[in-house]
Structure 1
Amino acid sequence: MTFARPDTRDTDTVRPRTFGVRLRTRTTAAAACLVLGLGLIGGAMTGSWLIGDGSGDGTRSAYAVTGSLWHSVPVDRLFPPTLDGPGAGPGGAGRAWTRVAVAPDSGCKGAFDPLLGRALAPVGCLRLLRATYTDATRSHVTTVGLLFTRADAAAMGALKRQFKDESLDRRTDLMPRPYAARDTVAAGFGDAQRASWTISVRTDVPVVVYAVSGFADGRTVTEPQSAAEAMKSGATTVPAQSGLGNEATGLADRIEAGLNRTVTSATEKPS
């Protein structure tokens, strides 16, 4: 799938013959055992390949185990209640975030702008996990998402190349949507309030990590800008000057780093 540019846009009892009969019998039995043994070994090798235990590096395949992480890992490990971001703000300023809401795990329906949903469709949607955070001043809100896909390494690699070649992570018509929770500072965080976002397609695990940020006061942002663009030196847009690109990138990076630690722990073999 290739996207157009935006508008501005897997028995014989005789003794002399007895030996020969026994020999043939033993030979047949041995052959049967050999076939059975080879079958069992082959099956074991296939099983190891399927679950990733055939590697010689002492680790299990990240792709074989990551798909179960969404329901076996505590939410506080995937989305910590608080996060620190030394140097994550504009000019190297420190940042701190507090989780204000965790969305029920779900499918992907309605979680992305239509064109982004189409772009992500080839890798499938196994489960989507989301949480929304606010900064220390409670003036910014950011939704971070972990999309667990059904894809293999080849499909994830193809998706990453497409995003890079077509700059899909910078188009304002392909944005993730925020999770606005009632009775929180993010209650008014809707599509119109999106200011900046970042999307990371992983190839070592079947996961897409993203974050989308905005203002906590519900103000509309008429010109959202990707975090990569908003964090460029000299950028003067509202997302750039307010540090919302840094908010999206800082939170996404820390959630992604936490995911890396979780996957590493889950794929390590007991000593």
Structure 2
Amino acid sequence: MSFGEPGRYDGGGPSRPFARRTRAQVVAAAVCLVLGAGLIGGAVTGAWLADGPEGPGTRHAFTVAGDLWHDVPVDQLFPPTVQGGGAGPGEADRVWTRIAVAPDSGCKGAFDALLTRVLTPVGCERLLRATYTDATRSHVTTVGLLFTEADAAGMKALAGRFDRERLDRRGDLVPLPYAAKGTAAEGFGREQRASWAISVLTDAPVVVYAVSGWSDGRTVDEPQPAEDAMRAGATTAPAQAGLGHEARGLADRFERALRKRAGSATERPS
């Protein structure tokens, strides 16, 4: 599109100053400018709606993460084996093998009553769970992905409450394990919970948790938060057995994998 040539004063012909453009040319130029400004404004608005305050694509990534439970095959959400390089005590490597996957469900009966009340404000879109065992088959750990109905503000509010009240460290808010019959986790119930980790994500409508115990069904009088069980010099039975590392190691890897999957699905072409 041309707005006409600039005026020439080259001595070889008549000059063509801007003042002598026709009325039609001026009107056409004005219309083009208005249309161009509208298109640019629309593009900027569209980009703003797709982005969040944390940076480009964050709003879209939040939505994509919330859809992963029905968009991603179960073997990708819960891989048959999970590598835990440096995840054990003394930064020993870990390898976890999946032994059971629970049918995807709602949250009715999936948590103790008090934890259910704490999680109620964000709602329950879908709950996915799988149980893993370590290489020695002496430990079992259930990993849970609670996909909520909350928006980003709702997730931030819940995360803020967990931080302020240290809810992730309370022994009366330990998630329930998934004890699948016919597996090493068959005896993994309420009384067998030894250590746990729970994270409320703010960049995805998901609560990630892991709860660990022994595969022989031994009971635990007082489960210990993973952070406490992982401290140097901790002498409790869960700490000595490395069950805090089991819970935290798996929870961290599933949290990172979920964020990576949601981020890769929203990458913009360069």
Query: Which TM-score tier does this pair reach, normalised by the shorter chain?
Result: 0.7 to 0.9
1:186-205 superposed matches below 5 A: 186-205=185-204
Deviation of the 1:54 alpha carbon: 12
Distance 1:254 1:222, change over 3 A: same
Aligned residue for 2:85? Answer: 86
Change (3 A) 1:218 1:58: closer
Q: Which residue of 2 aligns with 1:160?
A: 159
Q: Distance in 1 between matches of 2:138 and 2:87?
A: 16
> CA 1:54–1:213 in 2, change beyond 3 Å: closer, same or farther?
closer
Q: Give, in whole Å, the separation in 2 of the partners of 1:237 and 1:55.
A: 41
CA distance 1:58–1:203, change in 2 (3 Å) = closer
| Identity percentage of aligned residues | 69
Aligned length: 237
Contact 1:59–1:268, Cα closer than 8 Å, also in 2: no
1:90-109 aligned within 5 A: 90-109=89-108
Indicate whether 1:230 and 2:229 are aligned: yes
Task: Give the structure 2 partner of residue 75 of structure 1.
Answer: 74
* Residues 61-72 of structure 1: pairs in structure 2 closer than 5 A: 61-72=60-71
Aligned to 1:118: 117
Q: Secondary structure at the match of 1:163?
A: helix
Is residue 59–residue 269 contact of structure 1 (8 Å, CA) maintained in 2?
no
Whether the aligned pair in 2 keeps the contact of 1:52 and 1:64 (CA below 8 Å) is no
Q: Which residue of 2 aligns with 1:135?
A: 134
What is the Cα deviation at residue 59 of structure 1? 6.7
53 and 244 in structure 1: CA distance in 2 versus 1, 3 angstrom threshold: closer
Other structure's SS at 1:142 match: strand
Larger Rg: 2
- Find the aligned partners of 1:168 and 1:121 in 2 and give their Cα distance: 14
- Aligned residue in 2 for 1:171: 170
Secondary structure in 2 matching 1:183:
coil
Distance 1:145 1:172 in 2: 18
1:258 maps onto 2:267 in alignment: no
In the TM superposition, what is the alpha-carbon distance from 1:47 to its structure 2 partner? 7.3
Question: Are residues 55 and 203 of structure 1, via their aligned partners in 2, closer, same or farther at CA, if it must alter by over 3 Å?
Answer: closer
SS of equivalent to 2:213? strand
What is the aligned partner in structure 2 of residue 207 from structure 1? 206
Q: TM-score, normalised by structure 2?
A: 0.80
- State the match for 2:12 in structure 1: none
The answer to whether the 8 A contact 1:85-1:250 is kept is yes
Shift of the 56–125 alpha-carbon distance from structure 1 to 2, 3 Å rule, reads closer
One-letter amino acid matched to 2:119: L
Shift of 1:48: 6.7
* Structure 1 residue 46 displacement after superposition: 7.7
TM-score, normalization by structure 1: 0.79
RMSD: 2.7
Once residues 54 and 84 of structure 2 are traced to their aligned partners in structure 1, the CA distance between those partners, rounded to angstroms, is 36
